[in-house]
Amino acid sequence: MIRALASLFFYATFYSRFSASGLERRRRQWQPYTEDLTGQTWLITGASGGLGRAIALAANARGATVLAAARSADKLDVLRREATAPARLVPLAFDLSLVRAVRALAAEVAARPAPVTVLVNNVGVLLNDFTRTGEGLEASFATNLLGHLVLTEALRDANALDPAGAVVNMSSGGMYGAKLDLAALTRADAAGWDGMAAYAQHKRAQVELARAWNTAWKGAPKAYAMHPGWADTEGVRTSLPWFRAALKARLRTTEQGADTALWLGTTRPPPDPEGGIWLDRVRDAEHEFGFTRGGADAASLRDLLRKTAARIG
Ligand SMILES: NC(=O)c1ccc[n+]([C@@H]2O[C@H](COP(=O)([O-])OP(=O)(O)OC[C@H]3O[C@@H](n4cnc5c(N)ncnc54)[C@H](OP(=O)(O)O)[C@@H]3O)[C@@H](O)[C@H]2O)c1
């Protein structure tokens, strides 16, 4: 009962910003941007569905070569056929939850002639049940956080990220309900595990990871954390059916949810990357409630993730 009331309070707090209403209000201030992305390379995780698909199709339509990564080769094949320029859409089937598969993907991307201009760390799963990957890690932690850390850092170490480009972490408003807690983040036992709480930790951690990368890389490339708002996707349909049923009429389209990622990756001059979480081309505060402040710091988080990945040989 308390949990249901807390959820109700949470969603009521953010409704006017995260639903289609928030987008409709903020886009009145937008300036058109028409950057031609010819010559750029975009790597998008989770490109075969939901927001990733919308980002991939839009970047491809504007001239970019899109490296589209997701598990299902069949879905990626459908995506390629839907693209404006299929010859510039490269399907990369891989499983982000497996560190070894992520390293292999990074090596494949690094071997390409052009570096990645914009990397969108987009995959995110909200799992209801505790599951372990074949490498022994809790699956949503491995997918949402560790896989993206390994991919991003392997690409940067291989000089495969354009220093003038951008890394965009697709976080979520779910992070407003979590204080970063490294023990909770790496909890590996099923007893009492809560998929929603785990997801909120991962999404908070993505904001801190952007900060850690900006500190370590000094803006080459720039890292951003963003929130897409509430968009009608397969992920929402599967993980939050009650939420979708309640808000269906006011959810955003995938194209609307994708807008901020495209804008962060293309707008010139690029926005200052320091801090905040971007929504509808505006930098929002990282905290809404006092109880989420004072969590683990960005450098400790990055260190923990690097050590966790290093244990998987
Ligand atoms: N939709 C929203 O309202 C909303 C709100 C806040 C934040 N977000 C965030 O936005 C991001 C995208 O959400 P979405 O709703 O578009 O998700 P979605 O509809 O569930 O799409 C997920 C995509 O990720 C791929 N994927 C899933 N697991 C994977 C894995 N292990 N390895 C590689 N690819 C994998 C899926 O393709 P395959 O199955 O073929 O792998 C699919 O292309 C997430 O980070 C989510 O947290 C979404």
Tell me the pLDDT of the chain (313 aa) as tens digits.
Answer: 566 667 778 888 899 999 999 999 999 999 887 889 999 999 999 999 999 999 999 999 999 999 999 999 999 999 999 999 999 999 999 999 999 999 999 999 999 999 999 999 999 999 999 999 999 999 999 999 999 999 999 999 999 999 999 999 999 999 999 999 999 998 878 998 999 999 999 999 999 999 999 999 999 999 999 999 999 999 999 999 999 999 999 999 999 999 999 999 998 888 999 899 999 999 999 999 999 999 999 999 999 999 999 999 8
Q: pTM for the complete prediction?
A: 0.97
Token pair of 263, please? Answer: 């804008």
Q: How many CB atoms lie within 10 A of CB 16?
A: 10
* Whether domain 35-310 has CATH 3.40.50.720: yes
Amino acid at 169: N
Parse the chain into domains and list their residue ranges: 35-310
Q: Compute the distance from residue 45 Cα to the ligand 1 centre, in Å.
A: 8
Q: Does the CB atom of residue 235 touch ligand 1 within 6 A?
A: yes
Question: Residue 1: what pLDDT?
Answer: 58
Residue nearest to atom 26 of ligand 1 (CA): 46
Q: Compute the distance from residue 236 Cα to the ligand 1 centre, in Å.
A: 9
Tens-digit pLDDT profile for residues 233-242: 999 999 999 9
Ligand 1: which atom is nearest the Cα of residue 95? 32
Question: Residue 2: what pLDDT?
Answer: 64
Tell which residue, 205, 89, 192, 190, has the closest CA to residue 143: 205
Can you tell me the distance from the alpha carbon of 272 to that of 251, in angstroms, rounded to the nearest whole number?
29
Is 15 marked active-site? Answer: no
Return mean pLDDT, the chain: 95
Cβ contact 144:96 at 8 Å: no
Token pair of 114, please? Answer: 């052009």
Question: Residue 11: what pLDDT?
Answer: 82
Q: Is the peptide bond before 91 cis (omega within 30 degrees of 0)?
A: no
Ligand 1: which atom is nearest the Cα of residue 125? 47
